[in-house]
C-alpha cells in the first residue's frame, strides 16, 4: 500500500495572537499531575458545581418537565417565553425600553461575546477592555479582527476603572468599550459615577458600550449593582447576563444579551445579529426552559451572599487569611467569586507569574490562575477562587504561604550571598 505524505494542515492566521491562558499550559500541567495520581487543590475554577454549589432543584425539575417539547429547534433568538421573562426582569429594574425583540439568547455569554463582536468589528477596529479582564473579551476581539486596547483599573481605588486612562486610550479606530461589572477577576462593583463616566466618554467619541454583567446578583455587604443601560439613556449598550453564576448552572449554557439604544442607530446591527443567530440555528433549547423559572422564582443566591451565607463566609475567610501572609495584600471583593491578591515585588520578585503558578502547582499541588492571564501587566498578582469550602480555603492558603515562605528564604539567602545579582525565577 502506497503511503502519501500529506501537507500539514494550515493554522488560520487569525489565531496567531489569540490567547486563553486560563485553559493553557498551567491547566495541562495540572491534568498531567492528576493523571500521575496526584490530587490537585483547584482554586482556579469559576464553576460552582465541583464545589457543591448546585442549581436550585425547582429549576432543574422545570427544565426536565419541558424536555419532550425541547427536542426541536427554537426561534434563532430564543423561545418567546424565555425572552419575555428576561425582558420583564429588566423592566423591574427600570429598563422599560427592553422588549422581547431586544433579547438574543445564546449558549452562554461566551458565545454571545464572540457573536456580538463578529457582527460589529472591521479589521483593525479597536475595543477598550479593562486590565485585568476576563480574557475571553480580548481573545474574541482579536479573533473578530479587532485590536484589544487595555485600560487600567486602579487597585488603590477599589479596582475601579481609571476613567482618565480610558479616555486617553481612545483613538480614531476605537469603536467600543467593554465594562465587566462586577469584575472578574477583581470582584470590583462599579458605582453610578463610574458608569456615568463611561457613558460620557462613549457619547463624546461615538462609542458602543458592551456591559458584561454575568455576576450582577453576586454582591457583598453594601455593594449595589447598577445596570450600565440604566445610566446610558439612548446610547447603544449591549447588556450580557445569564444563569451560569447566580443560578449555579454554567453547564446548561443559558446566557443572553439585550440590545438597547436609539433604534435608528442600532437597526442595521440588530439585523446582523439576527443573521449570526440564524447561522447557529438556535441556542440550547432545554436550558432556555430554565430561564423563566430562574428569573421569576425565589432568588436562592441571596442565602449565599448575606452575612452567614456560604459565599460571604468563604470570601471573608479567604480575604483574611491571604492578607495575613507577609507581603500579600488583597482588596476586598465587593462582588463575583474571586480575589485578586498582590505579592510585594520586593519580597517576592517574580519575573514570570505563569512560572510562579507552575512552580506552586508542582511543589504544593495547588492550582491558581496567574495575573497576566487576565492581561494584568505585572507579574505580581494571582486569582484566587472563593467557591471551595472553608476547610479547602484554609488548606489552600496554608500551601501558598508555605511556598512563598520557602521562596522568600531562598531569595534572602541569594541576596545575602550575591546582593548585586538578579534572583532566579
Domains of the chain: 16-45+306-417 (3.90.1150.10), 57-296 (3.40.640.10)
Identify the bridge partners of residue 241 per DSSP, sorted by sequence position. 256
If you average pLDDT over residues 93-108, what whole number do you get?
94
Q: How far is CA 90 from CA 241, 302, 398, in A?
A: 11, 18, 43
In this predicted structure, what is the pLDDT of residue 190? 98
If you average pLDDT over residues 228-233, what whole number do you get?
96
For residue 17, pLDDT over 70 is answered with no
Q: Quickly tell me which residue has 464545589 as its cell.
A: 51
Q: Which residue has the higher pLDDT, 124 or 412?
A: 124
In this predicted structure, what is the pLDDT of residue 21? 62
For residue 178, pLDDT over 50 is answered with yes
Angle 220-55-39 from CA coordinates, rounded to 5°: 85
In this predicted structure, what is the pLDDT of residue 420? 40
Q: How many CA atoms lie within 13 A of 174 on its CB side?
A: 24
pLDDT in tens, 47-81: 999 999 999 998 899 888 988 888 898 999 999 99
If you average pLDDT over residues 154-161, what whole number do you get?
97
Report residue 160's pLDDT band, with 50, 70 and 90 as the boundaries: very high
- Decide the pairing of beta strands 382-385 and 369-370: antiparallel
Which residue, among 59, 53, 54, has the nearest Cα to 294 in the 3D structure?
A: 59
* Single pTM value for the model: 0.91
Q: Is 385 left (phi over 0), alpha (psi -120 to 50) or beta?
A: beta
Of the given ranges (41-45, 158-162, 168-172, 382-386), which has the lowest mean pLDDT? 41-45
Of the given ranges (16-30, 202-216, 334-348), which has the lowest mean pLDDT? 16-30
For residue 131, pLDDT over 80 is answered with yes
Q: What is the distance between the alpha carbons of residues 349 and 413, in angstroms, rounded to a whole number?
A: 14
Question: Dihedrals φ, ψ of 131, to 5°?
Answer: -125, 115
Q: What is the distance between the alpha carbons of residues 180 and 177, in angstroms, rounded to a whole number?
A: 10
For residue 84, pLDDT over 70 is answered with yes
- Decide: 227 and 256 in contact? Cβ < 8 Å: no
Specify the DSSP element, H or E, that contains 165: helix 163-168
Instruction: Share the mean pLDDT of the chain.
Output: 92
In this predicted structure, what is the pLDDT of residue 220? 97
Q: What is the distance between the alpha carbons of residues 52 and 30, in angstroms, rounded to a whole number?
A: 21
For residue 104, pLDDT over 90 is answered with yes
Amino acid at each position: 500500500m502506497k503511503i502519501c505524505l500529506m501537507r500539514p494542515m494550515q493554522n488560520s492566521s487569525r489565531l496567531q495572537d489569540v490567547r486563553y491562558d486560563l485553559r493553557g499550559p498551567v491547566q495541562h500541567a495540572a491534568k498531567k499531575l492528576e493523571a500521575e495520581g496526584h490530587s490537585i487543590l483547584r482554586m482556579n475554577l469559576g464553576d460552582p458545581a465541583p464545589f457543591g454549589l448546585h442549581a436550585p432543584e425547582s429549576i432543574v425539575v422545570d427544565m426536565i418537565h419541558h424536555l419532550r417539547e425541547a427536542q426541536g429547534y427554537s426561534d434563532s433568538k430564543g423561545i418567546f417565553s424565555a425572552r419575555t421573562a428576561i425582558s420583564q426582569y429588566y423592566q423591574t429594574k427600570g429598563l422599560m425600553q427592553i422588549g422581547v425583540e431586544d433579547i438574543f439568547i445564546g449558549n452562554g455569554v461566551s458565545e454571545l461575546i464572540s457573536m456580538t463582536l463578529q457582527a460589529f468589528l472591521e479589521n483593525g477596529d479597536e475595543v477598550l477592555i479593562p486590565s485585568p479582564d476576563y480574557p475571553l473579551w480580548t481573545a474574541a476581539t482579536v479573533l473578530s479582527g479587532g485590536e484589544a486596547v487595555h485600560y487600567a483599573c486602579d487597585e488603590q481605588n477599589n479596582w475601579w476603572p481609571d476613567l482618565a486612562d480610558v479616555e486617553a486610550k481612545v483613538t480614531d479606530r476605537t469603536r467600543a468599550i467593554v465594562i465587566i461589572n462586577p469584575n472578574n477577576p477583581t470582584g470590583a462593583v462599579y458605582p453610578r459615577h463610574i458608569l456615568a463616566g463611561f457613558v460620557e466618554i462613549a457619547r463624546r467619541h461615538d462609542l458602543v458600550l458592551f456591559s458584561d454583567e454575568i455576576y450582577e446578583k453576586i454582591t457583598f455587604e453594601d455593594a449595589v449593582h447598577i445596570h450600565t443601560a440604566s445610566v446610558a439613556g439612548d446610547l447603544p449598550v449591549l447588556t450580557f447576563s445569564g444563569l451560569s453564576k447566580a443560578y449555579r448552572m454554567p453547564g446548561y449554557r443559558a446566557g443572553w444579551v439585550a440590545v438597547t439604544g436609539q433604534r435608528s442607530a442600532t437597526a442595521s446591527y440588530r439585523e446582523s445579529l439576527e443573521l449570526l443567530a440564524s447561522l447557529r440555528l438556535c441556542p440550547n433549547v432545554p436550558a432556555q426552559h430554565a430561564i423563566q423559572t430562574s428569573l421569576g422564582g425565589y432568588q436562592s443566591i441571596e442565602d449565599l451572599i448575606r452575612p452567614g451565607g456560604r459565599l460571604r463566609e468563604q470570601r471573608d475567610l479567604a480575604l483574611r487569611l491571604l492578607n495575613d501572609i507577609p507581603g500579600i495584600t488583597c482588596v476586598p471583593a465587593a462582588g463575583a467569586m474571586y480575589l485578586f491578591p498582590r505579592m510585594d515585588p520586593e519580597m517576592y520578585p517574580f519575573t514570570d507569574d505563569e512560572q510562579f503558578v507552575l512552580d506552586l502547582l508542582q511543589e504544593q499541588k495547588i492550582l491558581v490562575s496567574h495575573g497576566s492571564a487576565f492581561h494584568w501587566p505585572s507579574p505580581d498578582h494571582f486569582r484566587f477562587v472563593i467557591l471551595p469550602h472553608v476547610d479547602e480555603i484554609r488548606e489552600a492558603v496554608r500551601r501558598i504561604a508555605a511556598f512563598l515562605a520557602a521562596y522568600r528564604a531562598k531569595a534572602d539567602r541569594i541576596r545575602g550571598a550575591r546582593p548585586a545579582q538578579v534572583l532566579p525565577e
